[in-house]
Structure 1
């Protein structure tokens, strides 16, 4: 599973920028992720420096001699293809997916369209543009229904709707973050997540993590700032079931054209144990509560080794196309 970094000593990486912070609604989490990555890389002798695009123009990456970037940004302008496009123009290799895969994965509606076309299971949905649309979606999808912005992360702007009266408030909250709002069928069952490392045919899923949140509410607070959410890794699922989900996630990852790393969220319907793909995160968290490092540890990869391994995958779309 681990990549061969024998030819890439810490010094060979050159001057490395850890992109953190940014201007998205996930800035606080990104600062925590970035600081963790920064500390891990420095501890292994990498010449790593914090770089916050909210405080410094990206062009400074070139003038200050950075050789590659570790993207620890989350949300808009971090994992939606925009910063990736800027780095392509600057010619500075970066971690994670390229421009197109990043932009598609950030858009939950586009992701679901692609997965549905490829025959991959994802909950039924409606794209809505008004309260009336949301109420119509509720009538079609049933209760409960999830209402969320199409291009946000970390459950920001999300509402679990259980009555038609909630539709107006749920739509208003989601639309505050994005003009495109997604209404999604709620899948009752086990909540899991599955990270993937690698690119193309070499991409492999890490062990699943089964998530048990207080009252089933895995929201922003319970993700990052409480210790009451339970994470089970090993997942405790039947091995055959876990392996089937891992293969499904690998296909979902390749279908979007992801590279380097990502993490898919999957619900397993209790009634028939059918798994459903919710979304693909192409710049996952790297905080003390984050799930990719947890799954990597279960695979025998330390946090420090994971950071170094990901840094070694930094590339450009043009380079990835010819490699």
Structure 2
């Protein structure tokens, strides 16, 4: 097939997108496809014309545009099939404050939060005890994220984040370890346990994308009952958000045995250190086979 590989864009996650696109490009060629690279940062206005000239689009964008559903909506408008979720599901999942409302409405455990649509006044204080996390409402890859330990750090964190982000959410610190679980088709993949290396106190951008920045164990060495619960919650979140193809849900597993669903990613990272490809490999699916499977699922969704 003639495949349009869409990557790059103008979000803060541009470099992550481009790095992942390199491996996807090679895999597509190994699978026998011809590939045209398209970067929305350079020529968004040409997307519809390019999509009409291709049999399929493979999207590897992170943040907005890409995970917000805009590109998906444009592709849908000209009947170009693509991998992953449709426009509406993508839009809901990217918006953390909106998706968390869906989680609560469907009995999925998620931390409390406050939504900040604009920078609050200087006398504003969060309703949670310190430490807290303040993060982008629509960002990912742990960019636009700040851990605030006390009131003295609050104003600097707000100034720094609102300089680059238009919306933020505030969450309390949930003690525990990070666990992530991918969904492929209608099945949950083996979860990954994530432990930041080098004394990091949380799984930040450097830990995610620097080789050796974190210890990632797949399958996660969790009790069978917890593994089953993680997979159940990941698949349920995928369904209630109206997603398709694949996704990846991020959790905190607390010492008391409770799980806390943080967010769901509709276009999971596809770099050499990314989590979903590790999960697929754990069940015998190579990277090339994963790409082929995503194309197959995308074509089936289009029919």
Which category of TM-score, normalised to the shorter sequence, fits these structures?
Answer: over 0.9
1:60 aligns with 2:49: yes
TM-score, normalised by the number of residues in structure 2 = 0.94
Conserved in 2, the CA contact under 8 Å of 1:268 and 1:276? yes
Cα deviation for residue 278 of structure 1 reads 0.3
Counterparts of 1:13-24 in structure 2, within 5 Å, are: 14-24=1-11
Change in 2 beyond 3 A, CA 1:266/1:134: farther
Q: Which of 105, 128, 147 is 2:93 aligned to?
A: 105
| Runs of 5+ consecutive residues of structure 2 not aligned to the other structure | none
Structure 1 residues 18-44: Cα deviation after superposition (integer angstroms, max 9, x where no partner): 111111111101011111111011112
1:149 aligns with 2:136: yes
Count, aligned residues:
298
Residue matched to 2:262: 278
Q: Distance in 2 between matches of 1:160 and 1:220?
A: 13
Q: Distance in 2 between matches of 1:173 and 1:164?
A: 15
Cα deviation for residue 315 of structure 1 reads 4.6
1:269 aligns with 2:254: yes
Change in 2 beyond 3 A, CA 1:212/1:312: same
Q: Distance in 2 between matches of 1:187 and 1:47?
A: 46
Counterparts of 1:248-267 in structure 2, within 5 Å, are: 248-267=233-252
1:246 aligns with 2:234: no
Deviates more, 1:175-184 or 1:153-162: 175-184
Q: Which of 90, 95, 104 is 1:116 aligned to?
A: 104
Residue matched to 2:217: 232
Counterparts of 1:288-299 in structure 2, within 5 Å, are: 288-299=272-283
Cα deviation for residue 135 of structure 1 reads 4.2
Q: Distance in 2 between matches of 1:236 and 1:155?
A: 24
Conserved in 2, the CA contact under 8 Å of 1:148 and 1:174? yes
Q: Distance in 2 between matches of 1:260 and 1:103?
A: 15
Conserved in 1, the CA contact under 8 Å of 2:122 and 2:155? no
Cα deviation for residue 174 of structure 1 reads 2.4
Conserved in 2, the CA contact under 8 Å of 1:135 and 1:164? no
Q: Which of 60, 63, 67 is 1:75 aligned to?
A: 63
Residue matched to 1:87: 75
Residue matched to 1:196: 183
| Runs of 5+ consecutive residues of structure 1 not aligned to the other structure | 1-13
RMSD: 1.7
Change in 2 beyond 3 A, CA 1:210/1:134: farther
Q: Distance in 1 between matches of 2:258 and 2:201?
A: 19
